[in-house]
Amino acid sequence: MKKTLIALIALNAFAVTNANAAADTNTWYGGAKLGWSHYFDGNGNNDFNDNLSNATDFDLSSDNVGGGVFGGYQILPWLAVEGGYDYLGNMQVEGNNGVAGAKLGSQGLQLSMKASYSFNENWDIYGRAGAMAYRAEAQQDGNTKFETGVRPLAAFGTEYEFNDNWAGRLEYQWVSNVGNSNQIGMTADVSTVTAGVVYRFGQNTPAPVAAAPVVEEAPVEPQRFNLKSDVMFAFNSAVLSPAGEAAVRDLYNRPEIQASKEKTTVVIGFTDRLGSQNYNLDLSTKRAQAVADELVRLGMPAQHVQAEGRGPSEPVTGTTCDAVTERQELINCLAPDRRVVVEIAGVAAQQ
């Protein structure tokens, strides 16, 4: 049994693995455990010669409460060094047929290496191998004797991580030959089965992953194509001239227009400031509609083409012509204001 246990511990302890469920590397942890202790393979001298479990003059009560506290340092993701204090309970030997009884109790400080193997990010199994410096005490015939020594220790168990700092542990531990029968009259192996809690210090909580910023595409400014009204129409007319039809046809055949025939196209008419507001608004609307109709005739989808007039509301000459008083010169000066603009939504400007 001992050889099998040691083989299992060695196999587990030397398995190199990335134990995600273990504490973070280069951090400390501590905890407490409580459970049952069991004394077995007991031997004695004097009235307790030979193996106690085979003696007929005694009744053994080898189970008791056990527990302890522990702490450790996580060296690698899968390897830690751990030490602690263990209370191993006691074993009662009740004598029969007038034979005196006895009691063996023990406790100790232990140090071991702990290797882990992770099944997932929360759950792992582990093995520990090391030694315990024990203090064993025997009571017999009203006398109390104690003895100290160092014995090999092995353990295996499992841990489950509740969150970054807290974990639970279930463990089996074995210590060999606690007590020296030549000095205190008894010796026994001691095993414990305990449940414990572990607190891990200084764990690095992963920073929340920031959502990638949503990059909104900057709206593309609509492309504007300017057509001069003086070329497109006769004076005070809303009928396209042959030169005007040619200008609209040239515009329609441009690659950027052909690529955007399914986009909204707005034809806007403008006039200069000469004349009444109502007359200019009506004239600009008719001219815009004439250009829109020609674009539809050439192949633009009618449902995507709109026309509107804005009269003299957006002059491009500004104050350039304010000092001009002679009428024909003023008409010539205000020519840039008399225009038709074809505006297509979402078409980048051509260089």
- Residue 34 counted as domain residue: yes
pLDDT at 1 over 60: no
Same-domain pairing of 233 and 151: no
The pLDDT value recorded for residue 99 is 53
pLDDT digits (tens, 9 = 90+) for 201-240: 988 766 666 777 776 666 667 888 888 877 788 878 889 8
Quick one: three-class SS letters along the chain?
CHHHHHHHHHHHHCCCCCCCCCCCCCCEEEEEEEEEEEEEEEEECHHHEEEHHHCCCEEEECEEEEEEEEEEEEEECCEEEEEEEEEEEEEEEEECCCCCCEEEEEEEEEEEEEEEEECCCCEEEEEEEEEEEEEEEEEECCEEEEEEEEEEEEEEEEEEECCCCEEEEEEEEEEEEECCHHHHCEEEEEEEEEEEEEEECCCCCCCCCCCCCCCCCCCCCCEEEEEEHHHHECCCCCCECHHHHHHHHHHHCCHHHHCCCCCCEEEEEECCCCCCHHHHHHHHHHHHHHHHHHHHHHCCCHHHEEEEECCCCCCCCCCCCCCCCCHHHHHHHCHHHCEEEEEECCCCCCC
Residue 207 resides in a domain: no
Do 108 and 237 sit in the same domain of this protein?
A: no
CATH number of residue 298's parent domain: 3.30.1330.60
Residue 157 shares a structural domain with residue 14: yes
Instruction: Indicate whether 218 belongs to any domain.
Output: no
By the 10 Å C-beta count (0-12 exposed, 13-18 middle, 19+ buried), 253 is classed as: exposed
Backbone angles phi, psi at 234, to 5 degrees: -75, 165
- 130, part of any domain: yes
pLDDT at 303: 92
Same domain, yes or no: 159 and 304? no
Count CA atoms closer than 13 A to 202's CA, side-chain side.
Answer: 9
Tell me the per-residue pLDDT of 273-282, one tens digit each, with 9 for 90 and over: 888 999 999 9
Taking only the tens place, the pLDDT of each residue in 248-273 is 999 899 888 888 888 889 999 998 88
Token pair in block for residue 256: 């950027």
Q: Which pLDDT band, with edges at 50, 70 and 90, does 20 fall under?
A: low
On average, the pLDDT of the chain sits at 83
Q: Do 256 and 316 fall into the same domain?
A: yes
Given a cut of 90, is residue 51 above it in pLDDT?
Answer: no
pLDDT of residue 88: 94
Q: Is residue 177 part of a domain?
A: yes
pLDDT band at 5 (very low <50, low <70, confident <90, very high): very low
Domain membership of residue 210 (yes or no) is: no
Q: In this predicted model, which residue has the larger pLDDT, 142 or 252?
A: 252
What does the pLDDT read at residue 21? 67
User: Tell me, what's the pLDDT at 194?
Assistant: 97
* Residue 82 included in any domain: yes
> For 150-200, what is each residue's pLDDT tens digit?
999 999 999 999 998 999 999 999 999 998 888 888 888 999 999 999 999
Q: Stretch 97-124: mean pLDDT, rounded? A: 86
Per the CB < 8 A criterion, the answer to whether 105 and 140 are in contact is no
pLDDT recorded at residue 153: 96
Same-domain check for residues 288 and 167: no
pLDDT of 13 higher than 50: no
Domain count, the chain: 2
CATH number for the domain that contains residue 67: 2.40.160.20
Q: What pLDDT, on the 0 to 100 scale, is given for residue 129? A: 97
Confidence of residue 6 (pLDDT cuts 50, 70, 90): very low
User: Which phi-psi region, left, alpha or beta, contains residue 318 (left: φ > 0; alpha: ψ -120 to 50)?
Assistant: left
Residues 243 and 106 in one domain: no
**Whether residue 187 is found in the same domain as residue 254:** no
Residue 283 and residue 317 in one domain: yes
My answer on whether 190 and 227 are in the same domain is no
What is the arithmetic mean of pLDDT over 299-310?
91
Range of the domain at 289: 223-344
Residues 48, 133 within the same domain: yes
Question: pLDDT over 70 for what percent of the chain?
Answer: 82
Same domain, 279 and 242: yes
pLDDT, tens digit (0-9, with 9 covering 90-100), for 90-109? 888 776 555 556 788 999 99
* Residue 307: predicted pLDDT: 92
CA distances from 188 to 93, 113, 114 (A): 12, 24, 25
> What residues have CB less than 8 Å from 103, skipping those under 6 apart?
90, 91, 92, 93, 138, 139, 140
Phi (first) and psi of residue 330, to 5 degrees: -65, -40
Q: Is the pLDDT of residue 342 over 80?
A: yes
Name the residue with tokens 């063996």.
Answer: 104
Q: Which residues of 50-82 are buried (b: 16+ CB within 10 A; e: fewer)?
A: eebeebebbebebebebbbebbbebeebbbbeb
- Give the least confident one: 63-67, 127-131, 138-142, 280-284: 138-142
Instruction: Enter the pTM of the model.
Output: 0.53
pLDDT digits (tens, 9 = 90+) for 317-339: 888 898 888 988 888 898 888 88
In a domain, 217, yes or no: no
> In sequence order, what are the residues at sequence separation of 6 or more whose Cβ sits closer than 8 angstroms to the Cβ of residue 218?
none
Residue 7: what pLDDT? 47
